[in-house]
């Protein structure tokens, strides 16, 4: 028997650590609320279990410290007299057991330099897809793919936060935890107004994928009668299995289809999406499939969504929209969101221009976009601001993963085809804390507005109406005092609006190359950049998956003047042109906050009117 090490004198008498074969058994008398587990990110996962004697006890994967710790994660203990924690697969000689601490609290004060200030992130741990979003009784519920035991992907839970205005979020405990059936993958939630599932009028029902190596991906449901705070899993789960043994069959989105008085589910089935229908959310019948060989190819569909919108606001001309998230193989590499517009008759979705590829956002960090259910006429979406190419290695420790701003989707018609616009939801205006009115400028070469966004801690919004010359370039450069910059420009010759992040800050995300010291990283970065060829604007990978420029086609817009709305928040830049006809979301990692603005032109004069900089904060 091993006495707990002297690293934790105050609590040593409470912990007993014993090695039984390959299992480490930790017995804690009069346990505190948490056992704080030290994590070393580049190490392999060990398995940790809170042994309560129940068959529901679930092993969690934790990258326990072997010879150094990056941060701690809280592992909740039972309120009982003794808690038993078991660890499997801990490397011999690991210092994890010496570093563990007992505590009633877990400090979530931010320690990450790049943590956004007004975008949603969990308090600690890893986040990917938003899911299960639903509006009920004045609250927007945001659930999300969450790992509470480390800042890399793993242990999928549904994390949970609520908001009354889409911008101020209250963090709540995870709503659905990984269980013995597997990870709780993405899905959706509905308000069961007519008690079709038998859990009471207005119960919230979550429909999610259970993922495990032990079985195919299957769809399950859970219900909540306390306004989405806690969920009980249905004892008859799963409610749907793939009929053909597909391995990739996930991310169910459920909606009420009034014409047939039925629930419908759209679920991604590898390279197509499938529709199912049900009267009670428990028995599902196959209806049809859509998407094979369409849009972007080759593709792997994930997180599909399906909703109705009026064309140009005309409620007599309603269309159905299918959004799909695709990974990998997107326009700028890795993951992105595309969509199809068409008609649905309860049996089939038809889309006349399904061979076209329509992107919802032309950046590289816009994925797993899905919409809230139960929001009436409004279609509100949330996106995860990252890309699977590098999501696990961005320069964060305590906390990895942020959502884009909440967006409102609308349909418009252009040259006989239908397109989705994706604009920042008007609720975002509540973040404006101060406004600098910078008037109008006619720019022949450059107009330097040094310090125009100073003292804003890298969290601001720029608005302007830009009229480029007929064949020229008109741009806005956002920079810090370390010569790092993100450039957003209209190139009229090739009809593109471009966001160039090749010199935006840290861009070198080799495996395990995430710098701990940003000043050192800065030197390394300059050295690398000096060796690079000149910037390119064609969205071809530059020197790795991160350092590139992304672009959107200006033929989606009308007229010769473009309204730009640019949101900067420490480590992200979101651009909305003409109310979101072009949206573009990219991560950036400047080593000092951006604070300067420069307007520039090439090939002729450009007008910049109504220029404003808003300081943004919660
Ligand atoms: C999309 C995705 C989903 C899956 C989830 C797992 O990013 O791969 O298909 O449900 O993430 O976390």
148-182 pLDDT, tens digit per residue, is 999 999 999 999 999 999 999 999 999 999 999 99
Write b or e for each residue in 350-364: b if 16 or more Cβ atoms lie within 10 A of its Cβ, otherwise e: ebeebeebbbbbbbb
From the list 156, 163, 153, the residue with the least C-alpha distance to 228 is 163
What is the predicted pLDDT for the residue at 216? Answer: 87
From 112, 129, 270, 365, active-site residue = 129
* Residue range 427-475, pLDDT digits in tens: 999 999 999 999 999 999 999 999 999 999 999 999 999 999 999 999 9
* Residue range 289-320, pLDDT digits in tens: 999 999 998 889 999 999 999 999 999 999 99
Length of the chain, please?
618
Q: How confident is the model at residue 251 (pLDDT cuts 50, 70, 90)?
A: very high
β-bridge mates for residue 408, sequence order: 380, 423
Supply the pTM of this predicted model. Answer: 0.94
- Averaged confidence pLDDT in the chain: 92
From the list 36, 97, 35, the residue with the least C-alpha distance to 66 is 97
- Give Cβ neighbours of residue 507 (< 8 Å, ≥ 6 apart): 501, 525, 543, 544, 546, 547, 589
CATH number belonging to the domain at 125-424, selected among 2.60.40.1180, 2.40.30.160, 2.60.120.640, 2.115.10.20: 2.115.10.20
Rounded CA gap, 380 and 134, in Å?
10
**Architecture field, domain 10-103:** Sandwich (2.60)
Question: Cβ(391) to ligand 1 under 6 A?
Answer: no
Residue % of the chain over a pLDDT of 70: 92
- Whether 503 has a pLDDT exceeding 50, the answer reads yes
CA of 318 relative to ligand 1 center, distance in Å: 30
From the list 592, 555, 549, 546, the residue with the least C-alpha distance to 577 is 555
β-bridge mates for residue 591, sequence order: none
What is the predicted pLDDT for the residue at 290? Answer: 98
> Within its chain, how far is the Cα of 399 from the centroid?
13
Question: Cβ(303) to ligand 1 under 6 A?
Answer: yes
**What topology is assigned to 430-616 in CATH?**
Jelly Rolls (2.60.120)
If phi > 0 it is left, if psi is from -120 to 50 it is alpha, else beta; for residue 265 that is: beta
CB–CB of 284/293 below 8 Å? no
What is the predicted pLDDT for the residue at 511? Answer: 41
Helix (H) or strand (E) holding 99: helix 96-99
CB–CB of 214/200 below 8 Å? no
Phi, psi for 606 (deg, rounded to 5): -130, 150
What is the predicted pLDDT for the residue at 524? Answer: 52
- Whether 513 has a pLDDT exceeding 50, the answer reads no
What is the predicted pLDDT for the residue at 502? Answer: 87
Question: Cβ(251) to ligand 1 under 6 A?
Answer: yes
CATH 2.115.10.20 in the chain is located at 125-424
Helices (DSSP H) in 513-572: which residue ranges? 518-530
Q: What is the mean pLDDT of residues 204-208?
A: 98
CATH 2.60.120.560 in the chain is located at 430-616
- Whether 520 has a pLDDT exceeding 90, the answer reads no
Which ligand 1 atom sits nearest the alpha carbon of residue 384? 7
Q: Cα–Cα distances in Å, from 46 out to 22, 35, 522?
A: 11, 16, 34
Q: How confident is the model at residue 121 (pLDDT cuts 50, 70, 90)?
A: very high
Q: What is the mean pLDDT of residues 541-549?
A: 67
Write b or e for each residue in 2-41: b if 16 or more Cβ atoms lie within 10 A of its Cβ, otherwise e: eebeeebeebeebbbbeeeeeebebbbeebbebbbbbbbb
Q: What is the mean pLDDT of residues 346-354?
A: 97
What is the predicted pLDDT for the residue at 527? Answer: 54
Question: Cβ(94) to ligand 1 under 6 A?
Answer: no
CB–CB of 595/462 below 8 Å? no
CA of 479 relative to ligand 1 center, distance in Å: 34
Helices (DSSP H) in 229-367: which residue ranges? none
Question: Cβ(143) to ligand 1 under 6 A?
Answer: no
Task: Confirm whether 500 is a catalytic residue.
Answer: no
């Amino acid at each position: 028997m091993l006495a707990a090490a002297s690293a934790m004198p105050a609590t040593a008498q409470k912990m007993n650590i014993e090695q039984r074969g390959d299992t480490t058994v930790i017995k804690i008398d009069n346990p505190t609320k948490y056992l704080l587990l030290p994590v070393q990110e580049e190490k392999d996962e060990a398995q940790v279990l809170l042994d309560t004697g129940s068959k529901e006890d679930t092993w969690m994967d934790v990258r326990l410290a072997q010879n150094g710790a990056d941060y701690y994660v809280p592992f909740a203990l039972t309120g009982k007299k003794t808690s038993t924690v078991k660890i499997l697969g801990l490397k011999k000689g690991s210092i994890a057991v010496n570093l563990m601490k007992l505590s009633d609290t877990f400090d979530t004060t931010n320690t990450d330099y790049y943590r956004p200030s007004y975008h949603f992130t969990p308090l600690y741990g890893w986040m990917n897809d938003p899911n299960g979003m639903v509006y009920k009784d004045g609250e927007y519920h945001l659930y999300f793919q969450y790992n509470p035991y480390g800042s890399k992907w793993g242990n999928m839970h549904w994390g949970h936060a609520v908001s009354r205005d889409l911008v101020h979020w209250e963090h709540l405990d995870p709503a659905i935890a990984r269980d013995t059936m597997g990870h709780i993958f993405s899905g959706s939630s509905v308000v069961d107004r007519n008690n079709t599932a038998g859990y009471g009028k207005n119960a919230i029902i979550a429909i999610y994928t259970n993922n495990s190596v032990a079985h195919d991906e299957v769809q399950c449901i859970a219900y909540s009668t306390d306004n989405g705070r806690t969920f009980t899993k249905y004892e008859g789960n799963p409610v749907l299995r793939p009929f053909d043994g597909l391995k990739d069959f996930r991310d169910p989105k459920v909606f009420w289809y009034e014409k047939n008085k039925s629930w419908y589910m759209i679920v991604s089935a590898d390279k197509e999406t499938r529709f199912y229908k049900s009267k009670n959310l428990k028995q599902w019948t196959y209806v049809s499939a859509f998407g094979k060989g369409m849009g972007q190819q080759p593709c792997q569909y994930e997180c599909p969504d399906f909703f109705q919108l009026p064309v140009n606001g005309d409620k007599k001309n309603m269309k159905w929209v299918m959004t799909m998230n695709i990974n990998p193989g997107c326009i700028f590499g890795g993951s992105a969101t595309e969509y199809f517009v068409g008609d649905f008759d309860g049996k089939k979705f038809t889309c006349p221009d399904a061979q076209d590829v329509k992107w919802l956002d032309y950046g590289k960090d816009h994925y797993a976009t899905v919409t809230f259910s139960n929001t009436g006429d409004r279609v509100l979406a949330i996106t995860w601001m990252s890309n699977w190419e590098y999501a696990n290695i961005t320069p964060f420790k305590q906390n990895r993963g942020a959502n884009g701003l909440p967006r409102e989707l609308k349909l418009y018609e252009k040259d006989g085809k239908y397109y989705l616009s994706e604009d920042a939801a008007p609720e975002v205006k509540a973040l404006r804390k101060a406004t600098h009115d910078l008037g109008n400028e006619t720019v022949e070469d450059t107009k330097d507005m040094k310090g125009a966004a100073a003292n804003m801690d890298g969290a601001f919004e720029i608005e302007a109406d830009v009229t480029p010359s007929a064949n020229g370039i008109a741009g806005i450069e956002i920079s810090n005092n370390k010569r790092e910059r993100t450039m957003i420009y209209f190139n009229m010759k090739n009809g593109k609006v471009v966001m160039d992040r090749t010199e935006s800050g840290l861009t070198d995300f080799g495996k395990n190359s995430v710098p701990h010291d940003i000043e050192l990283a800065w030197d390394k970065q300059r050295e690398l950049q000096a060796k690079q060829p000149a910037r390119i604007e064609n969205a071809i990978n530059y020197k790795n998956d991160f350092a590139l420029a992304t672009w959107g086609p200006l033929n989606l817009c009308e007229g010769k003047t473009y309204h730009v709305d640019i949101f900067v928040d420490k480590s992200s830049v979101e651009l909305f042109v003409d109310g979101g006809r072009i949206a573009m979301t990219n991560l950036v990692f400047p080593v000092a906050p951006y604070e300067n603005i420069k307007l520039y032109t090439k090939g002729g004069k450009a007008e910049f009117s109504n220029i404003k900089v808003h300081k943004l904060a919660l």
